[in-house]
Structure 1
Amino acid sequence: MTILDTIIARKKEEIAASKASISIDQLKNSEFFGRKTFSLKESVKNKSGIIAEFKRQSPSKGIINDRIQPLEVASSYQSFGASGISILTDKDFFGGSFDDILNVRNHINIPILRKDFMVDEYQFYEAKSIGADAVLLIAACLSPNQIQEFTELAHELDLEVLLEIHTEEELQHFNSKIDLVGINNRNLKDFKVDLQHSVLLKDQLPKDVLSVAESGIYNIEDFKYLKEKGFDGFLMGEYFMKNEDPGNKFSEFISNIAIQ
């Protein structure tokens, strides 16, 4: 059993417990359910292209930064030009929670991506209820038909979809309704980073699809290489979060790429 299998098994247990305690009708009555969402797609197009992430920990890296609050980080990310904020809501493996989005939502006016392992329709209502603007769909744990159905549901709820792929086989998960396609530079099975592999996958996507490079961007050179190869967006978390002041590190990075 891979770490992804373990995570998904646990996620299904969490969802079952949530369904038993909070109905979809209750989620629909939440504070944020009726709000007009921000477009991550348009923000990636028109701003820095960087979706900056708040992430406390990960299975591969352990604790990254558990000393700083999401509002402080998200506010800094916004003030220095992030196109969006990615916030992990998985508790057991990434140390996240719904509160990490709820505590930020009223204080920033750029899109929030709920980054989690979406395997059930119920989670889309959750995402809408906590104020997310977009959701991540991971091809490695969903079928092409599920991707299609979940994308349609997301759009019904005024949520955008970032589809994450890792392999050439997963290109078949793409459909024309997907808003953005993320290509993970890190292999989920062995955690190795291969930027060239990501470029080869991107080149097989339709030319008009917004592509987002995810993970494994550790320096300006990585960013420049991927930008030159045509990536529109960049989802970056660990590079900023491993620092004592992620917002300041993000500001420094933005300044450096501006003068390149």
Structure 2
Amino acid sequence: MSEKVVPFDRRNSCSDAEWQARIDLAACYRLVALYGWDDLIFTHISARVPGSHDHFLVNRYGLMFEEMTASNLVKVGLDGTVIDDDPNAINPAGFTIHSAVHEARPDAGCVIHLHTNAGVAVSAQEEGLLPISQTALFPLAQISYHDYEGVALNPDEKQRLVADLGHGKVMILRNHGTLAIGATVADAFLNIYSLERACAMQIMAQAGGGKLRHVSKPIVDGIMAQAKEVTRGLGGALAWPALLRKLDRIDPSYRT
């Protein structure tokens, strides 16, 4: 007999700003599931609670990404301790990477970590992400790498991970997966979207067996200025309303 998901209404117990953050984060979980990037109940997406440096929202451990709603997100502290007597539990080990990034990067309003087929495949390649597609140029302009140290359970790894991340917005965790951050959920989603698409394109291009053509370094170096022009300086906010409309047409329950 399957476990019943117990609803936990948060709408009247948090600020309007936190409720909107919950809606956006739940939407991000649903989008990850929609694009086929989820990994059963594993991996995590976290968002900083507006107005707080040390409180974050993350998924309840045991729920599929397609089940996430604004109310069933769990509020936690930097150490993974559940706030507000929330009856729902999280996976503290899974929050290790997220807490490290949130603590070290005040600009990290949202952190997305995935284990997709394409992302893990590229993470296992010595050269990592290659400049072979226009899509790859956007993450390449702000990418970093972190060597695999086993399952993320060791608190000592936090310092090395954030040092490797530096000021970048996307990271490939070698032999592990992908990571993206953003000031907002919308920005983080756009960053992970570009990285995941680039990884998928790379694997497909390599499967073709032909010699791969690399984009020249001057073009790679100048891509961020072009990215701002393409998104009208709005970053992820340009596409986010359209993505929410897409979700609303499919299943608006993420807003509850």
Larger radius of gyration: 2
TM-score (norm 1): 0.30
TM-score (norm 2): 0.31
Query: Going by fraction, where is strand more abundant, 1 or 2?
Result: 1
